Amino acid sequence: MGLVGAAAVSGVAVGFVYGMLAFSIVLLFKASGIPNFAQGNIATFGTFIVYLLAARAGLPLAAAIGLGFAGTAALGVVIYLGGMLPRGDAGTLNLAIRTLAIYLLLFAVMNLFWGVGQPFAFPRFLPAASMTVAGVSVSLLSLVTVAAAVVLGGAFWLLYNRTATGLLLRGIADRPEVARLLGADTARLSGLAWLLAGLVAVVVGLLTVPTALLSSDMMDSFFLYAFTAALLGGMTSLPGAFVGGVVVGVVSNVVTVLRGQEISILAIFALLIVILLVRPDGLFGHGVVERL
Amino acid sequence: MKRSIGLPLTAVAVLLAVACGGGASSSSASNGGATGPGVTSDTIQIGTTNAQTGNVSGPATLTQAGAQAVFDKVNAGGGVYGRKIKDTVLDDGYTAPKAVANARTFIDQPVLAVFGGYGTVPSQSIVPILEQAKVPYLFPYQGNPYPGDRYVFLMMPLYRNQTAAVIRAAIEKYGKGTVYALVGKTADTPQTVQVAQQATAQAGGSWLGYDEVNQGTTDYTPYVLRMKQTHPDFVLVSTTPTDCARYVTAMVAQGALPAKRILGLQTLATESFINAVPPEASNAVFAPGPNAAPSNKLAADCVATVHKYSPGTQVTMETLWGCGTAQVFVYALQKTGAHLTRDGLLKTLEGMHQVDAAPVLTPVSFSASNHVGEATMYQFTSSGKQLVSGGTMPIANVAT
């Protein structure tokens, strides 16, 4: 297989990273109806927690990762309670703008407290093993990313489709008033959604940091591609997030090797516009039917 | 008829401004007109816009720590002609808008000069403003050219000249071979690539091609794949430290290390780069450095200064760069004399020829037509995550 094939394989690998971040955006959107622009920085924040505990406080990496999960889950809940719950009926635009503000706030906090010395080399937690696929060396990290995508995708599919909690989460996103009338504790359920988004964010951060190096803006460029992936796949489709991620990864890497970076960026966003024109809800998304 | 009071008021304001010496030279008035902006009887006020936070803050803060240690040492010894050096450091986060705001603050303050700082992005954004305000801008950690600019003085050789020098030195040291390059986009990129191609040909090597990338590129694998299919002997990497590290990390992941060496500019001859990349890559690095390594005896003075006046600061290549450039700055202040003005400082700098004011740097020369101080750099390789200095390499400077 030639250069294009190799680029496609590498695109699948990085596409799953985009897909993981897109997945964390979608899972929150499904439960809250809010596009969370702070998701990338929540991932970075969680990765910083793990780094500080492991590299500076000297904790074993496994313990640091465990505490990182706990801390970031708590961060998700705090963001919800402090930033989203008050006047939570202010409308989607208002709430989306709040997530933008939270993005900036988290960035400022990370720069304030951990800005000096960036970027940091994260402690290696996977061996540097790899296998060759179509002339491309696919790292163990990429394989773990795919495995994590399958596990998380399956787990959240089960949550949303086979559990009462998942049904309620979907309910409060699609019909919050109806869900409330039916007795759903929307605050508790939304808090749970933010907690879960925080947990997934740590996974995303840990899978990104070995190649990106740890800095306050680590996820910025990833987030653009991930959000594109979420829109491509459909903001309500968990599998769609991964499909969108892989599409973005493959198109990006193939066009880059053929025509360079600028044309690659142009191609991705042209593709996004075309798909949104043809399928406004993305490849696998579904629109919300409004009763008139 | 309605009479306008605008003109008389303006005239009064102008007269008052002249009487007070004007905003930009208020310090002159306060000390009898013996000195210029930013200088009083007991203080030399300078400013630094630096990436104190953000993804280059590691090396950037170390350059500042090295410089501050020198200023503290000078101040502890009584200052320069009795004046203490006061450096106001403002954070630019390696962003142009913050750097521009900082530069405007320094112009209004006013400062004698803007000193130091880190990287291309802030530097390029503030040069036009400082030029217009006629504020000297001394020794930022970067090597892009500013042709015809009287107020900018660089210490390290231009990136394009470093590029040519490292290619020539590598081919001389490791034998003839093929060269591929990854370059970050800057205004100087086309010239840098042209120079690299010429240097490769002149040294007897073969140029295979290059890729141009934006800062903050997410995935470097496509570029590594393009490079890998050409099977180069040397790969030249010239972009930000973080992006260099990401590219080289992707090279290792793809088993695409060049047959002979990874070449780079001064950003690769740093501990932060060496520590960030896998060992198999750091052991293949060959790059020039603008100053001696911490283990070199030429660095002893700076190492001692940093240990004494900035205890706890890590002594790295960047720390020593800050120390060395500050020593040259202090030398220029002393040579300018008690009557310290911006013009006087510029004349002193332009009169420096093969000055060895900072042992950790190579000899420094400036002239009216040359505002790049160093014409020689140290050769660096790495072994076991340790930078190893291997002599010097001449850099052919072009006029700025």
Does B43-157+294-368 match B159-289+381-394 in CATH topology?
yes
A249 at interface of B, judged by CB pairs closer than 8 A: yes
Cα angle value B241/B245/B246 (rounded, 5°):
120
Domains and CATH numbers, chain A: 3-122+130-278 (1.10.3470)
Residues B289-313 as b or e (16 or more Cβ within 10 Å = b): bbbbbbebebbebbbebbeebbeeb
pLDDT of residue A33: 83
Residue A232 to chain B, least CA–CA distance (Å): 19
Of A3, A121, A137, which is closest to B229 when you measure between CB atoms?
Answer: A3
pLDDT tens for each residue of B282-332: 889 999 999 999 999 999 999 999 999 999 999 999 999 999 999 999 999
User: What are the tens digits of pLDDT across the range A188-204?
Assistant: 888 998 999 999 999 99
**Domain B43-157+294-368 of CATH type 3.40.50.2300:** yes
| Dist. CA A176–CA A188, nearest whole Å | 13
A228 near B CB under 8 A: no
Question: Do residues A96 and A103 lie in contact, with contact meaning Cβ atoms separated by under 8 Å?
Answer: no
Q: Pick the residue from chain B with its C-alpha nearest to A223.
A: B218
Asked if the C-beta of B250 comes within 8 angstroms of chain A's C-beta atoms, the answer is yes
**pTM attached to this predicted model:** 0.82
Mean pLDDT of chain B, nearest integer: 88
pLDDT in tens, B119-130: 889 999 999 999
Task: Look at B289 and A288; give whichever has higher pLDDT.
Answer: B289
Angle at which helices A238-259 and B221-228 pack, to 10 degrees?
40
The residue among A125 and B337 whose pLDDT is bigger is: B337
Which chain B residue is nearest to residue A18, measuring alpha carbons?
B218
How far, in whole angstroms, is CA B263 from its chain's centroid?
19
pLDDT for residue A109 is more than 70: yes
Per cent of chain A over pLDDT 90 is 51
Assess contact for A118 and A44: CB atoms under 8 A.
no
- Which of B279, B219, B274 has its CA nearest to residue A139? B219
Chain segment A44-77, per-residue pLDDT in tens: 999 999 999 999 999 999 999 999 999 999 999 9
CATH code matching the domain that covers B159-289+381-394, chosen among 3.40.50.1000, 1.10.3720.10, 3.40.50.2300, 3.10.450.50: 3.40.50.2300
Q: DSSP code of B197? A: H
Q: Is A257 in Cβ contact with B222 (below 8 Å)?
A: yes
At residue A30, the pLDDT reads: 82
Residue B3 pLDDT: 43
Judged by a CB distance cut-off of 8 A, whether residue A134 touches chain B is no
Q: What local confidence, expressed as pLDDT, does residue A65 receive?
A: 96
Residue B189 touches partner A, C-beta closer than 8 Å: no
Query: How do residues A142-178 score in pLDDT, each as one tens digit?
Result: 889 899 999 998 998 899 889 988 888 888 777 777 7
Residues of chain B with pLDDT under 50: 1-33, 398-400
Q: What is the pLDDT of residues A242-275, one digit of tens each?
A: 999 999 999 999 999 999 888 999 999 999 899 8
User: How confident is the model over A209-220, as a mean pLDDT?
Assistant: 87
In this structure, how many other beta carbons lie within 10 angstroms of the beta carbon of residue A84? Answer: 21
Residues 6+ away with beta carbon under 8 Å from B68: B87, B89, B309, B310, B322, B326
Considering chain A, what is the average pLDDT of its residues?
A: 88
Q: Is A253 on the interface with B (CB under 8 A)?
A: yes
When pLDDT is cut at 50, 70 and 90, the band that residue A290 belongs to is low
pLDDT at B196: 95
Distance from CA of B79 to the nearest CA of A (A): 29
**pLDDT at residue A241 greater than cutoff 50:** yes
- For residue A7, list chain B residues with Cβ-Cβ distance below 8 A: 221-222, 225
**Structure tokens of B156?**
């390290």
CB-based contact (8 Å) between A129 and chain B? Answer: no
Residue ranges of domains in chain B: 43-157+294-368, 159-289+381-394
In total, chain A counts a number of residues equal to 292
The answer to whether A77 and A195 have CB atoms below 8 angstroms apart is: yes
